[in-house]
Amino acid sequence: MDDLADRIRNWIASGAFRVSDHAQGRLDERGLLLSDILASVASWSVIETYESGRMGPSLLARHVLPGGPIHCLGYDKRKCGSCRSRDGLSA
């Protein structure tokens, strides 16, 4: 499912994504900057991919930031039938 990772990377590079309220709240809680996460997208490690599920095709990626590693969820919002726009970084 590398093509999903590539699609999400491309959407992020072009600015065609949104950060959910839930994800923004987690960033704020941890004192993380979205710009740091976006800068790490090129070198993320995909931990797991999910072919189907509540959010449709999605992936869990490990990002290495100056303050240490974090995990982020990315998914294709257009293919998500039951998302509530609070679950992660959607493209």
Tens of pLDDT, residue by residue over 39-58, are 888 888 888 888 776 767 78
Stated pTM of the model: 0.67
Tens of pLDDT, residue by residue over 29-42, are 988 888 888 888 88
Rounded CA separation 52/34 (Å): 27
Q: What is the pLDDT of residue 53?
A: 66
Ranges of H-type helices in the chain = 2-14, 21-30, 34-39
Rounded CA separation 48/17 (Å): 20
Rounded CA separation 80/21 (Å): 17
Q: Band of the pLDDT at 79, cuts 50, 70, 90?
A: low
Residue 81: phi, psi to the nearest 5?
Answer: -80, -20
